[in-house]
Structures are given as structure tokens and as C-alpha cells.
């Protein structure tokens, strides 16, 4: 079954060319089933790239998915046209006021990790978002900065600056093979990492109720389950395209920013060679397992979401 997105959204043509099943409003209406409503709060500068990455992963399951794009209410992006934002995104204040509920909700990363959380311009609204998820969302997935913000707010676990950027493809271990979110996972695998901050395993272990599912000896904890909040927090980037780390590296080189070649990414660590994608299958597994777990546990009556 496909993901339902507007036929005019750039991701529609991209995913169609890749063989991902997508459908427009009219085709979806002919299917007499209850689709899963998934929201994406997109905090990344390159909105179109990010929305396509997540649509690709959540649209690869046997279920019909409705993807709803959400933005911060007052924050204005400088990297995506106003026409695109107006056509496809709704401000969170509008979503909040509507009272509608979501089967799943993704909060992306944001390039603001050098700032203490309270100094982020939209931090107050971010707190409203994460509290709203507890009554209006069945399962929330916080990614990178989004996940760190959630775990900080709910559990007081702090992020810490790294001496140098964790940048490249790092080996991770499957720490909970019996988890429904890790069905089909290998014992170890690589995940793209691109961040200046970390959360520390001992501090996560000290927070009651948190379970670490994936971790790395080199870059620390990666995927955390928070059953009490019906949430997952991932600090690394399964959603990245094959060339995303290359784009970041080339940008920094062009800007004169001191940056290491992303480790274990280019063949022979040679940036003149084409990078290889070694995480795609596990990316689909993780997000497919998340969608499946939502389907297995969410109330059929969406109005019952968040009701104790």
C-alpha cells in the first residue's frame, strides 16, 4: 500500500521514480480503509530534502499513510520558498487549535545544537509541541536534536558538546534484539552520524523508564525507547540519502569550515570517490517496524488516542 501525499509535492515525483508507491487524494479515497495519519514537524533548513527522506521510509510499508507537514508557527525558513511552505505546511498553532489527533508524529533535527535548549527562539513552542504529543499522538519519533529536546524535557537528560564533530558512518550494536522496533536487524551495522553534541549512556541509564535499543562504542547511545511517553528518540540519521553527508562535507569545505572527511563513508576515505550507502536496508526496517507497531497498538477510533 502507498503513502498519500499531494501530487504537486516534489517528493511525489522523486518517490515515483524510485518505485515507492505513492497516491493522490482521489485514488486514496477509493480505498475503504483507515489510513494512518503521520505528522512531520520539519525543523531542517532543506525542507524538501527532509520531507522526501522521511516520506520514502514511512511510505514503504503495506499500510496507507497520510503524511501531514507541520512547521513552527512564527519561525520562517530562509532555505525553502514561501510558496512551498504555504502550499504544503501548516503552522503548529493551527494543528493544535484543530484538536486533531495523529497515529504517529516525527520531530526532526535542527542545526541549532550549539545553543542551550532554552535559548532556541522557538523553545517555548517546542515545549507545547512535546506536551501536546502526550494527548494527541499515539507514538512520537524524535530525531537528532528533536529527540534530544524531548528526552531533556521529559527526563532532564542533558546534551553535551563534543570536542569535534561526530561525522561519518559509525558501527552500531543491536542491544535489544527482541524489541519489536528492531525486527530483522543485524547484530551490528552502520548509521550516518552528523552532530556536535551527544547524550551520555550513564545519564540515560539513570533516568527511570528509558531503554537503549541501539548504541555505538564510538559515538554512544543512538536509539532510546521511552514506553511511558510512547516515544522513540534517535540521535543519528538513518533517513539520510546516499549523498547527504557528502553535501554537508562539500558545503563546509566551500565555506572554509574546518571539517574532517566523514569517516567510513567514502571508499578508502577518499572524498573524490562516490560514497556508498550501507544503511538503507536498516533504515527501512526501523521505520517500517515503527509504522507496524503503531498499526498494531493504536485505537481504531482515532479520538481515543491519548485517552487513559
pTM of structure? 0.90
Q: Which residue has the cell 509504522?
A: 291
d(Cα 190, Cα 279) in Å, to the nearest integer? 6
pLDDT, residue 31, reads 45
pLDDT, residue 30, reads 45
- In tens, the pLDDT along 84-102 reads 999 999 999 999 999 999 9
pLDDT, residue 4, reads 74
pLDDT, residue 17, reads 81
Instruction: State the catalytic residue, choosing from 51, 113, 225, 239.
Output: 239
**Residue ranges per structural domain of the chain:** 3-159+197-240+284-304
Is 239 an annotated catalytic residue?
yes
Q: What is the pLDDT along the chain (308 residues), one digit of tens a residue?
A: 456 778 888 888 887 887 666 655 655 454 446 799 999 999 999 999 999 999 999 998 888 899 999 999 988 888 889 999 999 999 999 999 999 999 999 999 999 999 999 999 999 999 999 999 999 999 999 999 999 999 999 999 999 999 999 999 999 999 999 999 999 999 999 999 999 999 999 999 999 999 999 999 999 999 999 999 999 999 999 999 999 999 999 999 999 988 899 999 999 999 999 999 999 999 999 999 999 999 989 998 999 998 86
Instruction: State the catalytic residue, choosing from 136, 153, 155, 237.
Output: 237
Instruction: State the catalytic residue, choosing from 144, 153, 172, 248.
Output: 144
pLDDT, residue 22, reads 67
C-alpha 66 chain-centroid distance: 16
pLDDT, residue 189, reads 97
Is 144 an annotated catalytic residue?
yes
Is 222 an annotated catalytic residue?
no
- The CATH number assigned to the domain with range 3-159+197-240+284-304 reads 3.40.50.880
Amino acid at each position: 500500500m502507498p503513502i498519500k501525499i499531494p501530487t504537486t509535492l516534489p517528493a511525489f515525483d522523486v518517490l515515483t521514480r524510485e518505485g515507492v508507491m505513492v497516491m493522490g487524494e482521489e485514488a486514496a479515497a477509493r480505498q475503504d480503509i483507515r489510513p494512518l495519519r503521520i505528522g512531520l514537524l520539519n525543523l531542517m533548513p532543506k525542507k524538501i530534502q527532509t520531507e522526501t527522506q522521511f516520506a520514502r521510509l514511512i511510505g514503504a510499508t503495506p499500510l496507507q499513510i497520510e503524511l501531514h507537514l507541520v512547521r513552527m508557527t512564527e519561525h520562517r525558513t530562509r532555505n525553502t520558498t514561501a510558496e512551498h511552505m504555504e502550499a504544503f505546511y501548516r503552522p503548529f498553532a493551527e494543528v493544535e487549535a484543530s484538536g486533531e489527533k495523529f497515529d504517529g508524529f516525527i520531530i526532526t533535527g535542527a542545526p541549532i545544537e550549539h545553543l542551550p535548549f532554552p535559548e532556541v527562539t522557538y523553545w517555548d513552542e517546542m515545549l507545547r509541541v512535546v506536551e501536546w504529543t502526550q494527548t494527541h499522538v499515539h507514538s512520537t519519533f524524535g530525531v537528532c536534536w528533536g529527540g534530544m529536546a524531548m528526552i531533556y524535557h521529559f527526563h532532564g537528560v542533558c546534551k553535551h558538546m563534543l570536542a569535534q564533530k561526530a561525522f561519518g558512518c559509525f558501527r552500531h550494536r543491536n542491544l535489544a534484539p527482541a524489541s519489536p522496533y528492531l525486527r530483522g536487524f543485524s547484530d551490528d551495522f552502520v548509521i550516518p552520524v552528523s552532530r556536535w553534541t551527544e547524550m551520555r549512556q550513564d545519564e540515560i541509564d539513570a533516568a527511570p523508564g528509558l531503554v537503549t535499543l541501539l548504541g555505538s562504542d564510538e559515538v554512544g547511545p543512538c536509539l532510546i525507547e521511552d514506553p511511558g511517553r510512547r516515544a522513540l528518540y534517535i540521535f543519528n540519521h538513518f533517513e539520510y540519502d546516499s549523498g547527504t553527508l557528502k553535501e554537508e562535507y562539500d558545503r563546509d569545505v566551500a565555506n572554509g569550515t574546518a571539517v574532517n572527511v566523514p569517516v567510513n563513508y567514502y571508499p578508502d576515505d577518499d572524498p573524490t570517490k562516490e560514497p556508498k550507502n550501507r544503511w538503507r536496508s536498516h533504515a527501512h526496517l526501523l521505520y517500517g517496524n515503527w509504522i507496524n507497531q503503531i498499526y498494531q497498538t493504536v485505537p481504531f477510533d482515532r479520538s481515543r488516542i491519548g485517552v487513559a
